[in-house]
Structure 1
Amino acid sequence: MGEDNAMTHARQPRHLHDGTLYWPKTMSTAPSYPVLKQRISTEVAIVGGGITGAICAAVLARHGVPAVLIEGQHIASGSTAANTGLVQFANDVMLSDLIDRIGENDAVRFYQACRKAVVALAQLSADTGEDIGYYTRSSLYCASCEDDVAKLIREYSMLRKHDFPVTWGIPSKVGGEFAKVKAGGLVTHGDAEMNPVRMAHALVSYAAKRGVQVFENTGVLEVGRLNGKFTVLCAEGEIVAEHVVKATGYLPGIVTQAASSAPILKRTYALVTPPGQIPEEWPEHYMMWETARPYLYFRTTPDGRILAGGSDEAMPDTGCDAKILQDRTEGLLAQLRELFPRQDWTAEHAWCGMFGESADDLPMIGEHAEQPGIFHALGVGGNGTVYSMIAASMLRDRILGRDNPLTPLLSPSRNQQSGSSSISPYWPSSSTQPSTSMFA
């Protein structure tokens, strides 16, 4: 943005959630970190202390890569606090549909990467040595209507063809009104549930113990680049780094695309019941979701609650008033009552949160062609935690000089359906001349 290095003021952070969150209340105390007040040189600067930044920091620490992580507010206080903690290799776009779009080889490679990421997350969680509520689960994927049964059968056949762990049918142990309300189903195995706030804190602590420097309440004012190195300027300090990781989710300053391929921001809703409301007709802690769009989903929690969500809306903010949140919460409870009419359903926590989708239903991960050295970790879609693990693996490979077959498929530079991508003005250009730009 010119050679005078003039200050560019940061925008106010986007409102990421509203209502009464559940996960932060599961931690009586949380670790705290200092404000950055000095100049630090490192190899990788990670901006964002949510689940994505935490996973990236932990993976780099495991491989001995020097890194600094900064968070503008508190660790796990943004979208991570509203994350519902479902970890699945299946995506909002079915494997069979993705094959139609991008071809069988690429689609299967992507699904295999998602499955591998679930396994890697389990190992990373175990390595922290902390109880973060990470449990292996199976997922029941239901046909919402008779017309969707054929689509689900096709998906089952394709998953079986490529050796993904899947079985057909709604399990006989599942009771309630499932057999009447849902037309069919398949079960994927090897998925997981987790507590996203506990997980983010555990991974940041894991990384800090292995040399990653962590700072909270350290927002970015501008980013400059000179002779191949980045300067991340904060209010009271700065970081000089070879690489910058953008892990701030849907805050301002993300890479932008042509209108036809920009991240589509939406509002979603979730609730958590009081303890003791897991129906007897719901055994083995399955995670449930369905073929309708938007879809209902739910899972259990370790303390005997049901966490349910859905009712997605094409609204790019979460500043909903109490009436809207109450209406959407009642709508979710009504769907639970339809499945389990004998249960007295109530909500103890209810919130709305922001999430994004891409035009081609794939995450945007990697360096933009016009922004070498800046690694974007934007897990758009309903599988964000899995995408964060994929991003961390791709980042590791980039830093260590390894090729990753997902790079061209997930690149922020890719053409999503139509229109060419463009660069956000809040990032440095590819010029080696002195430059500054707003980061977030």
Structure 2
Amino acid sequence: MDLHSGLPYWVIKNSLLDYFHPLKDDFSTDIVVIGTGITGALMVHELCNAGLKCCVIDKRSIATGSSAASTALLQYEIDVPLCRMAEMIGEDNAVTAYRACLQSISDIEKVLESTGVEAGFERVPSLFYASTQKDVKLVKEEYEMRKKHHLPVSLLGKEEIKERYKLQVPGCGLLNEESAQIDAYRAATGLLLYHIKKDGLEVFTHTGVKECVEKRGGYVVETDGGYKIKCKYVIVAAGFEAGKFLPREIMDLTSTYALVSHPVDPGELWPEHCLIWETADPYLYIRTTGGNRIIVGGEDEEFCEPERRDALLRKKIRILEKKFRKLFPDIPFKTEMAWCGTFSTTKDGLPFIGTWPGKKRMFFDLGYGGNGITFSMIGAQIICKKLQGLEDERSKVFGYERIEKYGS
């Protein structure tokens, strides 16, 4: 399946990485990571830093799946509000998930700093506003829950939001100062190139997986080219395409739309360039880029067929432009490029990280939902620790054991 279409801004901005290295012989290693997107790249970084022998395979060029189309907002907030998640999975587990996402933003920053990978990481605030007067109650309940657990948050009234950010919203909103934005394509390609050079990492592109055959003490990964990779462990970091390796469906597929504007005069942008999103479902989300462009995304549809998804692109561009101009009537906005893509969601808003019950040597690092990148960092840490015989208390929140319990 085509994961995206149109013109994803990041691929145009950075240009495609000219790396072509398909597997052309049988190979042996300790760990095979499937997927070269940001999830696979962060996973590889943790493995290499721990001295674990691994390789990466992908049926595409490096990071040209979902990562190329990601709008890459880094927030500790999850698609399901904390106050509602607490009702679904218990308050302690929900708070653990939110705190883990908060910590992961700093962890991603440290990874990029330690490797010298310039991926446009920028600390910016995040504003979550009530889409309707009816949602004001939800925003206030969410504020009280976050304050109770000492998560960074401030409650802003409608007029205060207008005065501070030139933003015309229907109701109040929550502001947090602990968010960031990134270029996921540059991060993924940069991290993989870093470890190719530093650790001799083997990255096999244009190498699809035909089958993973479980053997005594590990797996044999059979590729579409007829070659075999013998390994002790397999880590699937292939987003919703991981479904072929799972015994049952655990996610819902959704189509989403995004567009990027012409460069805007810096003085016409809203102060602090905060990330903006709302309570509506599906929600609108907005960010800026380093070149003073504006990215607007949303208008999700609950289907994943590429032809049906792509046919709506022009209509969705008009809708997203109209929504932006309603919020910021004074900012001149003209779309320069637009794209659409497919991503996965879960009922409780959380990723699936770890092994499927009964399969101890195949790990899944699946950062579903709007927090895919922060979830990817968490998943990389949890799985790497597990491979070293270490436990991580976050495992119980993000693991597969909750499938039956929470109905995900």
TM-score range, shorter chain: over 0.9
Q: 1:322 to 1:163 in 2, by over 3 A?
A: closer
Aligned 1:112-151 pairs, distance under 5 A: 112-151=99-138
- The yes-or-no answer on 1:257 pairing with 2:245 is no
Equivalent residue number for residue 238 of structure 2:
248
Question: How much does 1:359 deviate?
Answer: 2.2
Indicate which of 320, 333, 345 corresponds to 2:333.
Answer: 345
**Which of the residues 317, 327, 334 maps onto 1:329?**
317
Contact 1:62 1:210 in 2 (8 A): no
Superposed, 1:4-83 pairs within 5 Å as 14-28=1-15, 30-83=17-70
**Cα distance change, pair 228–131 in 1 and its aligned pair in 2 (3 A):** same
- When residues 165 and 175 of structure 1 are mapped into structure 2, their CA distance, relative to the original with a 3 A threshold, is closer
**Counterpart selection for 1:237 from 220, 227, 234:** 227
The one of 288, 291, 302 equivalent to 1:300 is 288
Counterpart CA distance in 1 for 2:86 and 2:402 is: 18
Which letter maps to 1:214?
Answer: V
The structural deviation recorded for 1:139 is 0.2
Superposition deviation, residue 409 in structure 1: 2.5
Instruction: Note the C-alpha offset of 1:396.
Output: 0.8
Task: Supply the AA of the counterpart residue of 1:168.
Answer: L
Equivalent residue for 1:101? Answer: 88
Rounded Cα–Cα distance in structure 2 between residues aligned with 1:318 and 1:305: 27
Mapping for residues 338-377 of structure 1, pairs under 5 Å: 338-377=326-365
Amino acid aligned to 1:68: C
Alignment partner of 1:282 is 2:265: no
Q: Which residue of 2 aligns with 1:218?
A: 207
Scaled by the length of structure 2, the TM-score of the pair is 0.93
Offset, 1:413: 4.1
Matches of 1:69 and 1:201, distance apart in 2: 12
Q: Is the 8 A contact 2:72 2:184 kept in 1?
A: yes
Name the aligned partner's letter for residue 270 of structure 2.
W
CA distance in structure 2 between the partners assigned to 1:159 and 1:277 by the alignment? 36
Question: After the TM superposition, which parts of structure 1 deviate over 3 Å for at least 4 consecutive aligned residues?
Answer: 170-177, 320-323, 416-419
Unmatched tracts of structure 2, length 5 or more: none
Q: 1:128–1:285: structure 2 CA closer, same or farther, 3 Å change rule?
A: same
The RMSD of aligned alpha carbons is 1.9
Cα-to-partner distance string for 1:219-240 (whole Å, 9 max, x where unaligned):
1122222212211122153221
User: What percent identity do the matched residue pairs reach?
Assistant: 34
Q: 1:356 to 1:40 in 2, by over 3 A?
A: same
Match of 2:139 in 1: 152
CA distance in 2, matches of 1:391, 1:356: 16
Q: Within the alignment, does 1:390 sit opposite 2:378 as a pair?
A: yes
**Structure with greater helix share of residues:** 2
For residues 186 and 210 of structure 2, what CA distance do their matches in structure 1 show? Answer: 29
With normalisation by structure 1, the TM-score equals 0.87
Deviation of the 1:98 alpha carbon = 1.1
Q: Is the 8 A contact 1:36 1:236 kept in 2?
A: no
Instruction: After superposing the two structures, state which structure 1 stretch, 126-135 or 312-321, moved more.
Output: 312-321
CA distance in 2, matches of 1:210, 1:314: 42
Structure 1 residue 172: Cα displacement:
6.2
Matched letter for residue 246 of structure 1 = V
